[in-house]
């Protein structure tokens, strides 16, 4: 039987520097060395060896669908929501109610927002 652990998320982005700045500003992620290649792909450390890879694709058509998202968890969601508000980043619940969080059936509270390329990000309190 196989066992797996999560390793990284890779996103195609139009402007890699803008995306790096966004993820550093919003999540305070540290940039780490791209050990895979000499490309312009930039790597950020999420935590515990998990990574976000931002791959420059300035001419790519990026298709956005809220059902296709990644989620990060924090034990202090209310403070994170205040952080988003200070950064003037619009957030919503699953059904796009502006500036509203959502509590799932299992009691987990969550919000959704988008990065500069329109990718959806969920942040919840399932930490």
- At 91, list the tokens: 């957030």
Topology at the third CATH level for domain 69-124: 3.30.720
Name the pTM for this structure.
0.92
Q: How confident is the model at residue 127 (pLDDT cuts 50, 70, 90)?
A: confident
d(CA 72, CA 110): 10
For residues 112-126, average pLDDT: 97
User: Which CATH code is given to the segment(s) 8-56?
Assistant: 3.10.180.10
Work out the average pLDDT over 27-33. 97
Quote the pLDDT of residue 4.
83
53-69 pLDDT tens trace = 999 999 999 889 999 99
What lies within 8 Å, CB to CB, of 19 at 6+ separation is 11, 13, 42, 54, 115, 116, 117
Round the average pLDDT of the chain to a whole number and report it. Answer: 95
Domain residue ranges in the chain? 8-56, 69-124
């Amino acid at each position: 039987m196989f066992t797996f652990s999560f390793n990284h998320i890779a996103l195609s982005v139009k402007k890699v520097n803008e995306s790096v700045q966004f993820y550093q500003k919003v999540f305070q992620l540290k940039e780490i060395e791209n050990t895979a290649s000499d490309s312009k792909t930039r790597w950020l450390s999420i935590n515990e060896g998990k990574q976000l890879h931002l791959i420059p694709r300035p001419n790519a058509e990026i298709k956005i669908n809220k059902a296709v998202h990644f989620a990060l968890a924090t034990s202090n969601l209310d403070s994170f929501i205040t952080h988003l508000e200070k950064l003037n980043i619009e957030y919503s619940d699953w059904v796009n109610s502006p500036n509203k969080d959502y509590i799932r059936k299992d009691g987990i509270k969550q919000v959704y927002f988008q990065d500069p390329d329109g990718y959806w990000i969920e942040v919840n309190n399932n930490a």
